[in-house]
Amino acid sequence: MRIARSRWARSGALAAVATLALTACGGGSVDKATEANESQAAGAGGECGELNMAVNPWVGYQASAYVVGTVAQDKLGCTVNYKDLKEDVSWQGFGTGEVDVVIEDWGHPDLEKKFFADSGDGTASDFGPQGNIGIIGWFVPPWLAEEHPDILDYENLNKYASEFATSESGGQGQFLGADPSYVQFDEAIVSNLDLDFKVVFSGSEAASIEAFRTAEKNKEWVIGYWYEPQYFNAEVAMTRVALPAYEDGCQDDPQTVACDYPETVLKKVVGTEWSQGDSTAVGLVQNFTWTNEDQNVVAAYIADDGMSPEDAAAQWIEENPDKVAAWMS
């Protein structure tokens, strides 16, 4: 789906065995340190090697990727390569070995058909849910929902279309799209529900956030594509507009979509060849799961507090040792 800010690729991670050997100084003998090293290596079941982690362009994904990557580096001695890629490009990397893990997939039936074994080339595999529940929809800032509550029903949107008009919407109401690479059907929804709106893409998560923040502060008319998990919702409690209810099959044809987005159990997708190998990171990725709240904390560290993704991940890991230990079991 959705913009992660600038990221720092991390490579050349120290091996866990070397780390243990260094930290053992002063407390015990070399023999004891060696035994500890061997015990860890045996428990891990081998070596990690390189871990190629796709980083899709939204800060929540960035949070998930760097937490898993930091654990892989610090606990398993992996060399982690973070790769800033759009969603569809990430999947293409499974077959070449350039990408091992997409840690947060928002549902791509088209890509599954192309890359999963039952219908495609088999280079990608579903690695199960990662704990987050994705909610996409049409949202307005809270001031607008409070002063015009009927706007929360799509059938009333045309009544207010002129209020949303901008220089970019050509006399129609403007619907603020996000990054056009995200999972989105907004142009079809506008057309098929006969709404007097034009989709104008913000281009990024950061641009959408700034538009919603300004709209709430200045009581400006903005309606747009938004989602959860998302740290910004703690600052501005965006309010969802009800579209026709989602039903199975209503989004099968992207051109005829006239329904709301479903709640989505976000999942991990990995390279099949990588998952069948002996990297110790395979078990970590398979076991990884956390909540929307967990992700929002790390995302806020990055986007609000200005921490680097590495530092944000390290802080959360330090604060949540039990959750990390469960992934390592």
Mean pLDDT of the chain: 89
Q: What is the rounded CA–CA span in Å between residue 208 and residue 115? A: 31
**How much of the chain, in percent, has pLDDT values that exceed 70?**
86
Q: pLDDT for 69-116, tens place per residue?
A: 999 999 999 999 999 999 999 999 999 999 999 999 998 988 999 999
In a domain, 80, yes or no: yes
Find the mean pLDDT for residues 222-227: 98
Tell me the DSSP string of 99-117.
Answer: --EEEEE---HHHHHHHST
In a domain, 307, yes or no: yes
Please say if the pLDDT value at position 329 is more than 90: no
In a domain, 5, yes or no: no
Question: 159 and 214 in one domain?
Answer: yes
Strand partners, 269: 102, 126
**CATH code of the domain in which 214 resides:** 3.40.190.100
Which H or E element spans position 211? helix 205-218
How high is the pLDDT of residue 23? 39
Find the mean pLDDT for residues 161-176: 97
Question: 36 and 79 in one domain?
Answer: yes
Residue 31's φ and ψ, nearest 5 degrees, are -60, -40
In a domain, 187, yes or no: yes
Angle at 83 between CA 62 and CA 308, to 5 degrees: 40
35 confidence band (pLDDT: 50, 70, 90)? very low
Q: Which of 212, 235, 263 is the last residue of a domain?
A: 263
Please say if the pLDDT value at position 40 is more than 70: no
Question: 154 and 239 in one domain?
Answer: yes
Please say if the pLDDT value at position 31 is more than 60: no
Structural domain count of the chain: 2
**How much of the chain, in percent, has pLDDT values that exceed 90?**
83
In a domain, 6, yes or no: no
What's the DSSP call for residue 277? S
**CATH code of the domain in which 65 resides:** 3.40.190.10
Nearest to 192 by CA among 236, 249, 258: 258
Q: Which of 246, 263, 280 is the last residue of a domain?
A: 263
Question: 196 and 107 in one domain?
Answer: no
Q: Which of 263, 284, 312 is the last residue of a domain?
A: 263
Question: 192 and 275 in one domain?
Answer: no
Q: What is the rounded CA–CA span in Å between residue 34 and residue 37? A: 5
